[in-house]
Structures are given as structure tokens and as C-alpha cells.
Structure 1
Amino acid sequence: MKHCLVVFILLSCTVVVGQNSVLSFRENLLVKSNINTQNESFSIQNNNQSILVNANNTYRLEVGANYKFLGLKIGFSPSSRSSDFKSKFLNSQLNIFLKQWIQSFEYRKVQGFYQDNNAQLLAQFPDLKTTSWLGTTSYVLNNNFSLKHLTHLNEWQRETAGSFVPTLKYGFNRLSNSIDYQKVAENSFDVSFAPAYYYTWAFKEHWFISSSIAPALGVRFTTEKLNNITNKDTFISRALDLTLQFGYTSETISAGASFNFDSNAINKDLTQSMVNDKSYASLYFGYRFTPPNFLKRTVEQIESTLGL
């Protein structure tokens, strides 16, 4: 943690100069794909014992498209063919781009988990399911820095720059399971704030390396139901997200890879609680082209109606 704070302070002291360093592709239709190794994990507390369970997915596939102020993305994860333990993953995301603002809404569902110990499958939890409705609101303080270049590929940051990106995260998550033939459900509402900082090094015209650090502090409100017993509680949540990304950008394509470390914790154990202390990698590719006329007319009409 001390090393992360040092990096955060150094990045925050960086002075950036330059004008018109961001090229927008909002008039182009971007189609993109992504493959990553991110997975879902949960810690189940049962009889004072903690059991770590995982979804049996080797990787996730995501496809999406961005045009002007709108972005759509869907994702799924094939189950591992080498195992009889099956998991289901599905998510969809709507993104809205308004100047320096980025607003995201996401729906995610995962079902089917197993306990893994020394590569030996010990138990299966086919009824363990999580359903989430999530939202994220971000604002980029530096006009010469592009978060969209890194996360949505609909801009091109051509000069080295960094920026604080204050981010508000909120969402509702429902976990349900059957333990010893008893129905268990946990509903939680989370709100957190992350004063994230991003820095992108641009070099040799088309290439870049970017890093970010995002400590977060928030609150979680939970309602836990076990048969006819209901418990409500409030917890303080803490998180730290680190990202390293490198890639290639031109007028028509974007490609690259990123490496992420996410750590989340709350101040008390629950019967079931999400564990996000993990690392994962992703590869992405995007292609930009002139949108078809019917899409252009439709989106322009929406822009005119909404005054965008």
C-alpha cells in the first residue's frame, strides 16, 4: 500500500502541457471485441468456516459498438470443456459520452460455482447465483487527457498527458444460494467514491503505455435472509484498482492489452460476500468505419431531440 501511495503522489504532481492532443472519432462507428481472464469469486461463511468458490470460466468474450454519444456492449463466458462443472455468465452495458463525462449502466448475471483446492474439485454450488445492476459516473478533469482512448476506443490521445478522474460507483447486487437445504439470499446496495488518476505516455506517433491507480472508499447496505430470519447491516468498503495498459492506435484501428489488479474488502464477514482480490489480463481490438446512413440519421435525430 505504501508503494501505491508513492506512485499516486508522483503521478498527481505531474504537470502536463499541450493543446488539442485528443482526436475524437465520434463521427465514426467503432466495432470492438475483447477477451479477458476475469472471473467471479465468493467467500461463503458456513459454520464459522470460510469456503472460497469460483465460477468455472476460463475467459470472457465481449463485443460492442460506439457511435457519437452512445456505446453498447454485451459479454458472455463459455464454460470449461475440460470439466463437468458448468457456470453461466452474461452481462450487458450501456455507455453515454457527454464531453468530459462518461456514464455507464451495467447488468450482470453469474450462476454456478465450485470449490477449488490444489486443482482438485471438491464441491459444486450450482444454485449459487449473483445478479447485479451497476452504475458508474466519471469526469475527466484534464481536457488534454482521454479516458475514452483507453476504455472505449472512440478517441485518440496523441500526446503524453495525465488526469484525475473522480468516479462515483453505485449498484445493487443480489446473491442467492441453498445451504443445507436452506434458502439464503443477500441483497446489497453499494456506493463508493474513487479519486482515480490516469497517466498515458504516447510515443512513436501510434503507440502508448498507460497506468492508473484508483483507491476507493464507500459504504454497503445489506439485507440478509435465511429462511424466516432477516438481518440488516451497514459496512464500510475499501478498494484499490491498479491498471497497466499498452497498445496501438491509428485512424482506423485500436489494439492492445491491459493488466489489472482489483482488491475489495469490507469491515465484517457476511454469510456470502464477494471477493475481488485478484489479477487478470485482457486483449482488445477495435475497428472504425463510416456508419451506415440509417444509423447516422437515427442518432442525429436523437441528438437533435435531446439537445446534444
Structure 2
Amino acid sequence: MKYTFLIVSIFITTFVCGQNAVISFKENLLVKSNISTQSESFSIQDNGQSVIVNANNTYRLQVAANYKFLGLKVGFSPSSRNSNFKSKFINPQLNIFIKQWIQSFEYRKVKGFYQDNHADVLAQFPNLKTTSWIGTTSYVLNDNFSLKHLTHLTEWQRETAGSLVPTLRSGFNRLSNTIDNQKIAENSFDIAIAPAYYYTWAFKEHWFISSSIAPALGVRFTTEKIDQIATTKNTFITRALDFTLQFGYTSETISAGASFNFDSNAVNKKLTQSVVTDKSYASLYFGYRFIAPKFLKRTAKSIEDRFNL
């Protein structure tokens, strides 16, 4: 009898802890701001030589709002004041949260690049532009782990836990430039699978440290065009490795923290214009939760009832 009581006690304790491992704030409107040192870089093959070009942005800014099953984010980047050469960056994103699923759709456009910090060639690639449409689907396998606590601040993970997060990434990217009055473009479609793993250490009630690693393997289909005429079609195997270290503070009303990222990307053959293999950047974020206005509650409720979310 005493063993039965012990087993039942352990079961109840585990169940309660599991229930309290993640607290949801989906009934609150979350407003978030973020600043990062992430930048855009490319390697261009010019007469057999590789030229590194960069967007002239010192940092990127993001503002986001998340409520219940929906999140909106807009990223932009002011050009450096130390140069007359300007780069333009815009990055709106839509996020959808359904139980353990996170689906994102984003558009990214960057125009205006310079070569390797050399002042005499700042205007060499003013027409180089990259435009991307990207979709990402992630599923969290462990119910007691919260990915939204780290990425969207709509939950609070109270206990230490980790989870495998299988992720599917796909997207279309277009790089274009004008060289000797000729319009040169490279269109590519990418699809990749990334079995990411996240682990969060929760301590002293409100603080946490989290790390993640995400190896990815995929395929890229490219078509190179000169003046709208297709010249070359190729298929490449792509490989990537993303590593993130994040720490922060979470309470019922605010979330704040910092993250450090390292991304490595590679293809099995050099392209005419391709992403530089390695880059690292840091970011700071702050989020505040409000009581959602009545019109937002009514709108979200009607959508939930209609689609049975």
C-alpha cells in the first residue's frame, strides 16, 4: 500500500511540475524591440577572383508584436553615417503559433553593397540587390520545453528542459546586379532540413541560459541569367551549421536578454554569386506584455472559432 501511495505521489508531482514547466502569455499582447549587429555579405566571382562585398549597415533594428496565435515583425537597418554610400534593408515577417508548431513567412530585401571596407570602391556595387521569400516550419517535440520563450517571448519556461526541434526551411532568393550595362541575375530555390536541438537552464526563478545547435542539409536549384536569358542551370548540395547562446530575464510583464549567433553555410561548388560561408553577430532584445485591447480580443476570438484553433 505504501508503495502504491509513493508511486501515485511521484506521478502527481511529475504531472504538476510538467504543467508548471511552461507558462503561456498568449492572452497578453507582447511588444518587442531588438537590435543586432547582423549584416549581409556576399562573395562575387569576378574574372576568376573572389570579391567580398558587404551591406553598409552597422546594425539592424526589429520591432514585433505577438498575440495568441499570430506574430508580426518588421526589420530595418539605417545606413552608416560615416559614409555617403547607402544600403537599404527591409525584412517584414509573419509568424503563426499553433500548439507545438511555429510557422514563419518572411520577405527580405537588401540593396547596395561595398567591397571589403575599401573607401575607394564604396560605390562599386550600388545596384547589387538580393531579394528573398523564406518559409520556416518548426515542431517542438517536448511539451515541457518552450521555443516561443526564446524566440517570441509569448511563454515563460520555468524549469530546465531541452528538446529536439525538427525544422524545414524553404525559400526563393534572387541576386541581381548590373555589370557593363548587362543585367545579371541568379535565381535560386532552397529546401533544407535542420534537426535543431535546444536546451534551456532555468535558475533563480526569473533567469535562464539557453543554447542551441542546428545542423542543416539541403538542396539548391539555381538559374543564372544575363539580360533575362537563362545561361546556366545547376543543382547543389548545401550544408549549414547554426549555433546560438542566449541568456535573459523573464517575468509576468517583461522579457529581456542577449544572444550570440554563429552561422556557417557552404555549397558543394562555387556559384557566380553566393553567400559567404561564416559570420557571427550579437543581439539585444526587450519585450513588454500589455492587456490586449478589446477589438483585438474580439478579432482573435472570431478567427479561433472559425478555424477551430
Interval containing the TM-score (normalised by the shorter chain): over 0.9
Corresponding residue for residue 63 of structure 2:
63
> How far apart are residue 177 of structure 1 and its match?
0.2
State the one-letter code of the partner of 1:296: K
> How far apart are residue 226 of structure 1 and its match?
2.0
Corresponding residue for residue 159 of structure 1:
159
Question: 8 Å contact 1:41–1:276 — kept in the other structure?
Answer: no
Looking at structure 1, the residues matched to 90 and 102 of structure 2 have their Cα atoms a distance apart, in angstroms, of 23
> How far apart are residue 182 of structure 1 and its match?
1.9
Question: 8 Å contact 1:26–1:68 — kept in the other structure?
Answer: yes
Corresponding residue for residue 254 of structure 2:
253
**Aligned residues: percent identity?**
78
Looking at structure 1, the residues matched to 231 and 300 of structure 2 have their Cα atoms a distance apart, in angstroms, of 47
Aligned length: 292
> How far apart are residue 122 of structure 1 and its match?
2.9
Whether 1:38 aligns to 2:38 is yes
Corresponding residue for residue 27 of structure 1:
27
> How far apart are residue 276 of structure 1 and its match?
4.8
Question: 8 Å contact 1:40–1:276 — kept in the other structure?
Answer: no
Looking at structure 1, the residues matched to 165 and 145 of structure 2 have their Cα atoms a distance apart, in angstroms, of 10
Corresponding residue for residue 242 of structure 2:
241
CA offsets per residue over residues 50-86 of structure 1, 9 Å max, x none? Answer: 0000000000000010000000000100000101111
Superposition pairs for residues 1-308 of structure 1, below 5 Å?
Answer: 18-20=17-19, 21-117=21-117, 120-123=119-122, 124-227=124-227, 228-308=229-309
Query: Structure 1 residues 84 and 256, CA, compared in 2 at 3 Å: closer, same or farther?
Result: same
RMSD between superposed Cα atoms in Å: 1.4
State the one-letter code of the partner of 1:131: T
> Which residues of structure 2 form unaligned runs of 5+?
1-13
Looking at structure 2, the residues matched to 128 and 120 of structure 1 have their Cα atoms a distance apart, in angstroms, of 17
Looking at structure 2, the residues matched to 121 and 156 of structure 1 have their Cα atoms a distance apart, in angstroms, of 50
Q: Runs ≥4 in structure 1, deviation > 6 angstroms?
A: none
CA offsets per residue over residues 139-191 of structure 1, 9 Å max, x none? Answer: 00000000000000000000000000000000000110012332100100000
State the one-letter code of the partner of 1:156: W
State the one-letter code of the partner of 1:248: Y
Question: 8 Å contact 2:223–2:230 — kept in the other structure?
Answer: no
> How far apart are residue 229 of structure 1 and its match?
4.7
State the one-letter code of the partner of 1:261: F
Looking at structure 1, the residues matched to 109 and 120 of structure 2 have their Cα atoms a distance apart, in angstroms, of 23
SS in 1 for 2:18: coil
SS in 2 for 1:78: coil
> Which residues of structure 1 form unaligned runs of 5+?
1-15
Deviates more, 1:119-128 or 1:36-45: 119-128
State the one-letter code of the partner of 1:204: K
CA offsets per residue over residues 20-52 of structure 1, 9 Å max, x none? Answer: 200000000000000000000011011111000
Corresponding residue for residue 8 of structure 2:
none
State the one-letter code of the partner of 1:138: S
SS in 1 for 2:252: coil
SS in 1 for 2:116: strand
